[in-house]
Amino acid sequence: MKALKIGLAVLAGAALLLLASPAPEAFHSGGVAECGGCHSMHSPKPGGNYLLVGTDGASTCLSCHMHAGDTGPNGYHIATAESDMPAGVPPLQRTPGGDFGWLKKTYTFTVRGTTTVEQGETHGHNIVAADTSFVADTVNTTAPGGTFPSSQLACTSCHDPHGRVRRTSSGTYTTGTTEPVMGSGSYGAIPAAGFTVGNYRLLRGLNDSHVTGVTFTGVAIAVAPSTYNRTEASTQTRVAYGASSINTWGNWCASCHPGMHSSGNYVHPVDQSLGSNLALVYNSYVKSGDLTGSSATAYTSLVPFAENTGDIATLAAHAKIDNSQLGGPGASDKVMCLSCHRAHASGFEYALRWNMEGEFMIWNSLYPGTDTTPSVPQFARGRLGAETQAAYYDRPVTAFAAYQRVLCNKCHAKD
Amino acid sequence: MLSGSAALAQAPAAYLYSLSSFSGPLRDDGARVRVDAERDEVLVIYQNTIRVFNRSGMEFYSFGADLDLGQILDLAVEPGGDIVLLSYKDSRSLVTRCNFRGEPLGPIEIGGLPEGLAFHANRMVLRKERFYFASLAASSVIVTDAKGTFLRHVDLPSMMQPEERQRGGTEALGFSVDEEGSIFLTLPSVFRVYKIAEDGGLTEFGRPGAVPGRFGIVAGIAVDRRGNLLVADKLKCVVMLFDKDFGFVGEFGYRGPAPENLIVPEDVAVDRLDRVYVAQGRRRGISVFALAPR
């Protein structure tokens, strides 16, 4: 009887935790969702795979994660429909990973008589979703620094729709199925004993090799605020990234991009501690020409870092949207791929968080644009000023110096 | 009510044609389609341009590209022929009355809102001199008279069962209003269609599943002149027909390359001649079907 009471208490606690959880975890709830949301037992797509109903995996995902008619960042939408993006109108979503709609924004501009086309496909990961006209990268036929074929890139290349990786109540990760998944693990929930939550964003890990030629050895650790798809016009959205042993973001991205990882390759370091000097620079840097900052307010979501911890409670305390947690890095915190790149897509080439194709991000206290700064087209690169601002998640231009240089300087302060 | 197999045997609608211009069929992805019930014309919204098609499905006019109204989200045609546009600009929802050429005549100010209720909408329906403005993200609807004066507010999440609300979020993908003033919203994450009657009564139907009549990812919804419901399913790639008592009648489309197939049907409209207009993905534009006599 005592065991039954304890069991009921655990269940009640779990139910309370689940009921108190925010809406973003709906449908997937940290694990395998309702099967009929993606598969059909008796009427799948003819000639398709896995009894999926959609043309392909990414098209299936976008059935829910993109919808025409949005007016701004909307819940779990991770792309803006073409119908809402006429020329001159930027994508609408502001998730930390970025809006795949940028892949469809191609810009043409002329500098000193030479016309350049910045193809939309350069703006991020080119998922293949035939139903919504997302096509494979035409330049990189394999993952840069790796061999994974671009023609196979889909949401499910990185995310596991069945949520194989789970986090236990003790903070360890498992792929076992003995402890039920009680909810999402993306927002800092800690499961009751005997239960698990999903891994962050259902990302693959723990030697997952379901994707052709790729093995995700470690786990990607992070906590997001429950309202994560939002403008940063007034306050920043802080995703608290973590790092612990092999569970680092660089190692995780290197599953497909091994040649881009610094281990054994002459490239920019990832997964390495900033050290006291670089941490000091990060914490002091406010904007070009201003090194008067402090560690209490140094954080910017345009240059996030990984905290040197895998402790979910610690990370959850930092995952805020109200600027209450803007603490900068310590010496042991780490630079990661996501310090400079967005995971999905951005308004700039190579999914970078800022425009690297020129020395200035801001010109004469203006977001570069064909309308705002026509005398320096090399900085606008065919965008309107409003499009550039959108790519910086709507920050007021006063967040930067009048002649702000690129954000490599957040860590290196050469400006 | 027909069984699933009977529904498969007798499609409730037959393919007619695709909306076209003199350059060929429309290829827009995820457009919105509306009908002008008085003149049997069809209007399609895509990237801030509104194209108008005649009863044969040929484009004969377009406007909108040079309007300074922000993002054009929806429209309704008044009986006299004026076109009312719903748009979003500078973080505000705007309602603008235009003449039949699409030239702005002036704003319709939404007034008399209760304290604490903001006007924010991305869908609009005009029925019997009443505007119904929906915010799909919030599954809420504001009803006004023809001058924009507030009449009532419907907040679906507050009417749902708590466990249902928790289970799936509250974003709607489809919105329509019937001739009796009943509001319909489709919520794909809970596999449901909700009907809120004029008196506030809430009814619902829908179950997930693969067999005909069950829901995958339900999106656009339309009501025909008899009160039958047409529900687009993005995942199953069909449009399902239900009678006014929510009895399943049949479905049509199905994923495939043939003209009569559908791929990711997202929006649906029906005119008084029982022609059904379905907006799709994969560059398939707007397909037009004729409902079978019943």
pLDDT at residue number A360: 97
Domain that holds residue B46: 4-291
- What mean pLDDT is predicted for residues B114-140? 96
H-helix segments, chain B: 4-9, 156-159, 162-168
- What rounded mean pLDDT belongs to chain A? 91
Q: Is B264's CB within 8 Å of A37's CB? A: no
pLDDT at residue number A8: 38
pLDDT at residue number A13: 39
- For residue A54, list chain B residues with Cβ-Cβ distance below 8 A: 235
In the predicted model, is pLDDT for residue A186 greater than 80? yes
In the predicted model, is pLDDT for residue A5 greater than 70? no
pLDDT band at A277 (very low <50, low <70, confident <90, very high): very high
In the predicted model, is pLDDT for residue B8 greater than 90? no
Nearest Cβ partner of B29 from A42, A64, A82? A82
Domains held by chain B: number: 1
- What mean pLDDT is predicted for residues B32-54? 96
- For residue A24, list chain B residues with Cβ-Cβ distance below 8 A: 169
Q: What distance in Å separates residue A208's CA from the closest CA in chain B?
A: 28
- What mean pLDDT is predicted for residues A343-370? 97
Rounded to the nearest 10 degrees, how much is the dihedral formed by the CA atoms of B183, B189, B191, B195?
-10
Interface residues on A facing B, Cβ-Cβ cutoff 8 A = 19, 23-24, 26-27, 34, 36-43, 45-46, 53-55, 59-60, 63-64, 67-72, 74-76, 81-87, 89, 130-133
pLDDT band at B186 (very low <50, low <70, confident <90, very high): very high
Q: Can you read off the two tokens belonging to residue A237? A: 């959205």
| A33-58 pLDDT, tens digit each | 888 788 888 777 777 788 887 788 89
Q: Is B47's CB within 8 Å of A82's CB? A: yes
Nearest Cβ partner of A68 from B30, B65, B256? B30
Q: What distance in Å separates residue B284's CA from the closest CA in chain A?
A: 10
- The CATH code of the domain that includes B153 is 2.120.10.30
Instruction: List the single best residue of A67, A85, A105, A133 to mutate versus B (max B Cβ within 10 A).
Output: A67
Q: What distance in Å separates residue A28's CA from the closest CA in chain B?
A: 9
In the predicted model, is pLDDT for residue A11 greater than 70? no
Give the Å distances, CA to CA, from B105 to A160, B35, B78.
52, 21, 13
Instruction: List the single best residue of A43, A55, A128, A184 to mutate versus B (max B Cβ within 10 A).
Output: A43
- For residue B49, list chain A residues with Cβ-Cβ distance below 8 A: 86
Strands (E), A81-127: 107-111, 114-118
| Pairing between β-strand B71-77 and β-strand B92-98 as defined by DSSP bridges | unpaired
- For residue A94, list chain B residues with Cβ-Cβ distance below 8 A: none
> Could you tell me which chain B residue has the CA closest to the CA of A73?
B137
Q: Is A132's CB within 8 Å of B31's CB? A: no
- C-alpha distance across the termini of chain A, in Å: 70
Whether residue A326 contacts residue A299, with contact meaning beta carbons closer than 8 Å, is answered with yes
Q: Can you read off the two tokens belonging to residue A74? A: 């909307």
Q: What distance in Å separates residue B274's CA from the closest CA in chain A?
A: 25
> Could you tell me which chain A residue has the CA closest to the CA of B31?
A83
- For residue A85, list chain B residues with Cβ-Cβ distance below 8 A: 47
Helix (H, G, I), strand (E, B) or coil at B145: strand
Give the Å distances, CA to CA, from A348 to A301, A355, A356.
16, 6, 8
Lowest mean pLDDT among A28-37, A343-352, A355-364, B77-86: A28-37
Lowest mean pLDDT among A28-37, A98-107, B180-189, B281-290: A28-37
pLDDT band at B1 (very low <50, low <70, confident <90, very high): very low
pLDDT at residue number B168: 58
Instruction: List the single best residue of B171, B175, B267 to mutate versus A (max A Cβ within 10 A).
Output: B171
In the predicted model, is pLDDT for residue A15 greater than 50? no
In the predicted model, is pLDDT for residue B11 greater than 80? no
- What mean pLDDT is predicted for residues B68-81? 96
B123-127: strand order across its sheet = B123-127, B130-135, B140-145, B150-155
- For residue A42, list chain B residues with Cβ-Cβ distance below 8 A: 210-211
Q: What distance in Å separates residue B210's CA from the closest CA in chain A?
A: 5
pLDDT at residue number A28: 86
Rounded Cα gap, residues B242 and A271, in angstroms: 56
H-helix segments, A42-94: 57-65
- For residue B136, list chain A residues with Cβ-Cβ distance below 8 A: 67, 69
pLDDT at residue number B129: 95
pLDDT at residue number A26: 64
- For residue A37, list chain B residues with Cβ-Cβ distance below 8 A: 208, 216-217, 235
pLDDT band at B114 (very low <50, low <70, confident <90, very high): very high
Helix (H, G, I), strand (E, B) or coil at A258: helix
Q: Is A70's CB within 8 Å of B137's CB? A: yes
Q: Is B255's CB within 8 Å of A46's CB? A: yes
In the predicted model, is pLDDT for residue B189 greater than 50? yes
| A375-401 pLDDT, tens digit each | 999 999 999 999 999 999 999 999 999
pLDDT at residue number A19: 32
Q: Taking CB atoms and an 8 Å cut-off, how many pairs form between chains A and B?
A: 128
pLDDT at residue number B167: 58
Instruction: List the single best residue of A32, A55, A70, A84 to mutate versus B (max B Cβ within 10 A).
Output: A84
| A221-244 pLDDT, tens digit each | 999 999 999 999 999 999 999 999
Rounded Cα gap, residues B145 and B148, in angstroms: 5
What per-residue string of b and e applies to A34-55 under the rule 16 or more CB within 10 Å gives b?
A: bebbbbbeebbbeebeeebbbb
pLDDT at residue number B165: 63
- What mean pLDDT is predicted for residues A117-143? 96
Rounded Cα gap, residues A296 and B242, in angstroms: 59
State the amino acid at position B133 in one-letter form: F
Q: Is B235's CB within 8 Å of A19's CB? A: no
Q: Which residue has the tokens 């599953």?
A: A255
Helix (H, G, I), strand (E, B) or coil at B230: strand
- What mean pLDDT is predicted for residues B73-97? 96
pLDDT band at A2 (very low <50, low <70, confident <90, very high): very low
- For residue B266, list chain A residues with Cβ-Cβ distance below 8 A: 67-68
Q: What distance in Å separates residue B201's CA from the closest CA in chain A?
A: 25
In the predicted model, is pLDDT for residue B6 greater than 80? no
In the predicted model, is pLDDT for residue A22 greater than 60? no
Report the percent of chain B where pLDDT is more than 90.
85
- What rounded mean pLDDT belongs to chain B? 93
- What mean pLDDT is predicted for residues B141-145? 98
In the predicted model, is pLDDT for residue B198 greater than 60? yes
Q: Can you read off the two tokens belonging to residue A335? A: 């630079």
pLDDT at residue number B10: 66
pLDDT band at B166 (very low <50, low <70, confident <90, very high): low
- What mean pLDDT is predicted for residues A119-136? 96
Q: What distance in Å separates residue B171's CA from the closest CA in chain A?
A: 8
Q: Is B29's CB within 8 Å of A81's CB? A: yes
In the predicted model, is pLDDT for residue A3 greater than 80? no
DSSP code of residue A121: G
